[in-house]
Chains A and B, each alone.
Chain A
Amino acid sequence: MTQQIIIYPLFLQIAISIILMFSWNNIRFQKIFSVFGSFVSVVLAGWVFYYIWTTGTQTVQAANWSAPFGITFVADTFAATLVVLTSLAGLAVSIFSAATVLKDRLRFGYFPIFHFLLLGLNGAFLTGDIFNLYVWFEIIIISSFVLITIGGEKAQLEGAVKYFTLNILASIIFLTAIAVLYGLTGSLNMADLAGKIAAVENRGLVEITAILFLIGFGIKAGVFPLYFWLPASYHTPPFAVSSIFGGLLTKVGVYALIRVFTLIFTHDPFLNDILIVVAIFTLVSGGIGALVQNNIRKVFSYLIICHIGYMIAGLGMFTEVAIAGVIFYLIHDIVVKTNLFMISGLIFRLRGSNSMRALGGLYAEWPKISLLLFIPLFSLVGIPPLSGFWPKINLIKAGFAESNYVTVAAIIFASFITLIIIAKLWAEVFWKEPQELKLKENFKFFSKSTTFKKTQIVLPIALLSIVSLYIGFGAEHIQELSARIADELVNNQGYIDTVLHAAK
């Protein structure tokens, strides 16, 4: 039963956390082992992906209870791809954490919790049971509460309160939705639900349940009226923490939305309209929000919201081309957003500030680093042939095919506004005349760090930039992958059959 390898990534993450907890006080060992473990997880995730790519969707029935009754772990191409991306982002952030997170934070179990967060993310991607999905979400948010408050600075706690309140609310709504769903159908297995929901007579109640899911996941993903917690909290924790949050936490909300709205609540024009309206408002409000911010991390936080809009818009259009665009965008976005927050950390190390007004002259002083940072920043904008360009083609093509011109306009508007923001950022931070550098005591500037530390900070950014470049220049491969995932998601009968009729 080699198909068990699909849950090996979960085993690995939990094993890493346990070993790290055993060496609670040995920070040096924790750093080395976390990086080593993350590297192994990349290899393992690659292996799982290759296995899924060659053999198709695979399932594991936990504790050997067969499908609709037990908890099923399902790895389709979508889940496997996200596991690979999670482990890549995990590796980059693990290296980055080792160099930048303060010792006071590491002493309170930063690394074990970090790997618990990755465990939760991998679990959420791999599970095929909606209640189990809730449990993984809980693991994610509990770990993230610890990571966001660790260190206990005043600003941090203020952000954490907002983050905590809205995420708990989202979890409650999600749980309520599951309860209603269970009351309607008597099942929690997502593949089983797909068939049972279609047979429910009371369509009104089904739609309300779907809206509850939309609200629950929407808060976590940061869509239009529900995103206020995100820019209020993402700029307060350590840079390494905001990069894993920015890269993956909102995306797991998007993943759940995609999963639920392609598998359980499908072919409902009312829901699709709501998704599209929400997406348009998200694109516009996120973009405009980013325009007026001065703190780099706040700019990036609003850009996360803005770009979530692309994915929701594609999901709302619900054609194979649009979904392929969504998946492509998701792949590109995880890599780029993780990288952006690490970049803000690097800039902070270079100049001791994150305010665009106070920064300047980076290009003159650090030309090589600036050229490296050029890649992710302009991948985000989507200057062809960099990675942000290709998924938008899919989305715009789908918009025209559906004659959904308002969505197309919103997508173009958001791309344009992203371009303006990044151009402004580039001009302010890299090209402007350098400001007087305020020297701070007890602050390690990048220039004063050892070469080893410098490498530790630049290497993860370079790693993810290379991945971004690959997504841009190897767009053909990613497009093929996205098309295959979109095909699996839209024609979901294959997924359902694999789960329900899996041989033991």
Chain B
Amino acid sequence: MMRTTIILKTASNYLLPVLLLFSIFILLRGHYLPGGGFVGGLIASIAFILHSFANGLHKTKELLVLHPGYLIPLGLAISFLSGLAPVVLYDLPFMTGLWSHDSVAILGHIGSALFFDMGVYLVVYGVTLTIIFTISESA
């Protein structure tokens, strides 16, 4: 196991929730402003990678419960269904944006693009963590 300083260990406990919240902020900020699912997913995975550097891989795995690899098909499915929704519901071409009439507090109008981004978020998060975990396990 890597030797880590107490500063990193303490900081990572606070950084984990902050980075996760930040990643969700970035996810929701997407579409009109810089951000979106891809960057959000990367930030979320960085949160856990940092945690594993500080506390060891097995601790992070305990924290995660479910192996991140399972989120890859889930994310793909969400993205795919968000693209498929206009085809099935309104007979519009694939991936046409659907937007809600009423705006929600904070988020504003919710569109199918948000669900697409959420899918991307999960895929990126799942893929990155799977790759990093596999590499650190075999190292």
Which residues does A use to contact B, with CB under 8 Å? 1, 4, 7, 11, 14-15, 17-18, 21-22, 24, 60-64
Contacts and interface: CB of A to CB of B under 8 A. Distances in A.
A395 to B, nearest CB: 38
Nearest to A11: B84
B73 A63 contact: no
A64 B69 CA distance: 33
A61 B73 contact: no
Contacts of A15: 80
A62 B94 contact: yes
B95 A63 contact: yes
5 residue pairs, one from A and one from B, having the closest CB atoms: A21-B73, A63-B95, A64-B96, A22-B73, A64-B93
Contacts, number: 41
B80 A1 contact: no
B18 interface: no
A155 to B, nearest CB: 22
Nearest to A70: B93
Given A18-B73, A21-B72, A22-B73, A63 B97 contact: yes
Nearest to A73: B94
B77 A7 contact: no
B76 A21 contact: yes
Nearest to A10: B94
B96 to A, nearest CB: 4
B96 A63 contact: yes
Interface in B14-45: none
A22 B126 CA distance: 13
B87 A4 contact: yes
A374 to B, nearest CB: 44
A18 B95 contact: no
Contact of B92 (A17, A22, A64): A64
A7 B93 CA distance: 10
Interface in B74-94: 76-77, 80, 84, 87, 91-94
Given A22-B73, A62-B95, A14 B87 contact: no
Contacts of A64: 92-93, 96
A21 B84 CA distance: 19
Contacts of B84: 11
Interface residues of B, number: 15
A64 B97 CA distance: 9
A64 B99 CA distance: 14
Given A11-B84, A14-B80, A4 B73 contact: no
B77 A18 contact: yes
Contacts of A63: 93-97
- Most B Cβ at <10 Å: residue of A4, A17, A18, A62: A18
- Most A Cβ at <10 Å: residue of B87, B91, B93, B94: B93
A18 B97 contact: no
Contacts of A4: 87, 91, 93-94
Interface of B: 69, 72-73, 76-77, 80, 84, 87, 91-97
A485 B77 CA distance: 36
Contacts of B87: 4, 11
A18 B94 contact: no
A280 B32 CA distance: 54
B73 to A, nearest CB: 4
Given A18-B73, A21-B73, A22-B73, A62 B80 contact: no
A170 to B, nearest CB: 25
A138 B134 CA distance: 24
Nearest to A3: B93
A29 B101 CA distance: 42
B81 to A, nearest CB: 9
A7 B80 contact: no
A61 B72 CA distance: 28
A60 B91 CA distance: 12
Contacts of A18: 73, 76-77, 80
Contact of B94 (A21, A24, A60): A60
A131 to B, nearest CB: 16
A71 to B, nearest CB: 9
Contact of A7 (B69, B76, B94): B94
A121 to B, nearest CB: 18
Contacts of B92: 1, 64
A391 B95 CA distance: 40
A15 B92 CA distance: 19
Nearest to A23: B73
Contacts of B95: 62-63
A167 to B, nearest CB: 21
B76 A1 contact: no
A24 B93 CA distance: 31
